Structure 1
Amino acid sequence: MTRGPQAYGEASYWDERYKQDGGSFDWYQQFSGLAPLLQKYIPKTSRVLMVGCGNAILSEDMVQDGYQEIVNVDISSVVIEAMQKKYKDFPQLKYMTMDVRDMSSFADHEFDFVIDKGMLDSLMCGSSAQLSAAKMLEEVRRVLKPGGGYMLITYGDPRVRLPHLKTQESNIWTVLLHVLPKPGSKRASEKCTWDVTAPIPVQEDDGFSKAYSVDDPDLHYVYICVKAQEPAKASSKGVKHGKGK
């Protein structure tokens, strides 16, 4: 049965999809493309939450690189059961069935970093997109420790993603932007003309440097949202404006 994008927020859609496709698939970017940013912002000792993990191998690759604790959640019990079985000998990896719009199983300030590779995009393509996105981002902010960060890997340029990331409710964090070439694209085949680890200012209206075009189909956008420290409980743990160590 074929179902449209409006079903992307439903567990039944993803259960059926993962029943039909038992292989591994990394949305947008693989570890090799993200490694410079992961290493820049996320200390290996961080407690990381991977939202909408699917059957991607990014978490496995991160463990191989030295990351010590990654909790992976997905709305599909089918894929979570498969990943629990696949990674039963990886004590660094935990898999849980969960809707990112309600992560009440987690306490406030439980994670140092949240990674989102396509999860917000999926909700934005589904029904009640605005409400779903707002609920998810509210939960992400809640479970993050002060000084922690949310890494959003998306096809959404600043015009369409910043309004969600820089709402009145989300002014507790600072947003940094990085741009990566899409794997297999013309941009990727050419020598990179910019430093992917250098954040791009997003304070201006267009939120973008003249070196890039928001209409460029060969780009992915990585937003680093750094949660503000609580004045009375300032901690050195977590990211601080682009310095993860």
Structure 2
Amino acid sequence: MSSSSPPLSPRGAEEGEEDGGTGSGGGVGGGTVFSYGEAGYWDARYVEEGGAPYDWYQRYAALRPFVRRFVPPASRLLMIGCGSALMSEDMAADGYMEIINIDISSVLIEMMRKKYFNLPQLQYMQMDVRDMSKFSDESFDCAIDKGTLDSLMCGVEAPLSAAQMVLEVDRLLKPGGVFMLITYGDPSARIPHLNQPVCSWKIVLYILPRPGFKGNIRRSVFDPVPLTESGRLPEGFVLEDPDSHYIYVCKKGQELTGIDSPTLSHLKLQDSE
């Protein structure tokens, strides 16, 4: 799939957009239930597309300032729902040394293994983000998701799937580790799913206009956007691009100590600057 012909986005599905038959149908209240959480859907889709590269939402060039600030190159990084995106390839070229890419589609994973067989920084594993039991607790410094949570929000039992994913990410991160979520979901739609009872995230929010937006952004996109105590945008906040993308930088609490994490050292350095 080329970047000039993007697929149906999870956003359209979550908001009830018709999908020309790719949904499974029979949703609550007569709506369409989409199969974005099912391996079979993605296997068929990647066979049809032939594994052509496609990046959801934003390319690495736009995300790089945020990634470089919060994710040191020495990190052991989990790329969630990697798909056929070029982001991991671009990050490897930018000095990141260990990126574990997972996706629910075995078809896609085999394609990516063949494509990147000579790039040792990238590893590919077939896995459902709702059950990452192959990985041990606190085994990653950082995790990045660009569209996977959004896809789960389109399917059956979306709140349960979202909770399973967030809890698994929390389990895998070392204390002080970072979960970077890139999504179309505003705080009212995503903060409740991030704030699972056992999680102790410190969340910082950034907002980027969609690629190609021609309007005037009156604030610096590199400044964090404040959240209210209830996890919402402040009253009167002006969102120049209604189709903006939200970057939630979630730092895991440090109840446990003594674990050597490059992310923790990196963030301490950032805080002191």
**1:50 aligns to what SS in structure 2?**
strand
Query: RMSD between aligned alpha carbons?
Result: 2.1
TM-score normalised by L of structure 2: 0.82
Aligned to 1:116: 145
TM-score normalised by L of structure 1: 0.91
Matches within 5 A, 1:1-245: 2-4=21-23, 5-22=33-50, 23-170=52-199, 172-187=200-215, 190=216, 192-205=217-230, 207-209=232-234, 210-213=236-239, 216-233=241-258, 235=260, 237-239=262-264, 240=267, 243=270
For 1:49, the aligned partner's letter is: L
Identity of matched residues, %: 51
Query: Following the alignment from structure 2 to structure 1, what is the Cα–Cα distance between the partners of residues 196 and 268?
Result: 19
Larger RCO (alpha carbons 8 Å, 6+ apart): 1
Alpha-carbon offset, residue 186 of structure 1? 2.7
Alpha-carbon offset, residue 141 of structure 1? 0.3
**1:61 aligns to what SS in structure 2?**
helix
The runs of at least 4 aligned residues of structure 1 exceeding 6 Å deviation read none
Query: Following the alignment from structure 1 to structure 2, what is the Cα–Cα distance between the partners of residues 27 and 13?
Result: 17
User: Per-residue displacement from partner, 1:7-40 (whole Å, max 9, x unpaired)?
Assistant: 1110000000000012100000001110110111
Query: Following the alignment from structure 2 to structure 1, what is the Cα–Cα distance between the partners of residues 118 and 255?
Result: 37
| Greater radius of gyration (CA) | 2
Q: What are structure 2's unaligned runs of at least 5 residues?
A: 1-19, 24-32
Q: What are structure 1's unaligned runs of at least 5 residues?
A: none
Query: Following the alignment from structure 2 to structure 1, what is the Cα–Cα distance between the partners of residues 196 and 214?
Result: 34
**2:65 aligns to what SS in structure 1?**
helix
**2:34 aligns to what SS in structure 1?**
helix
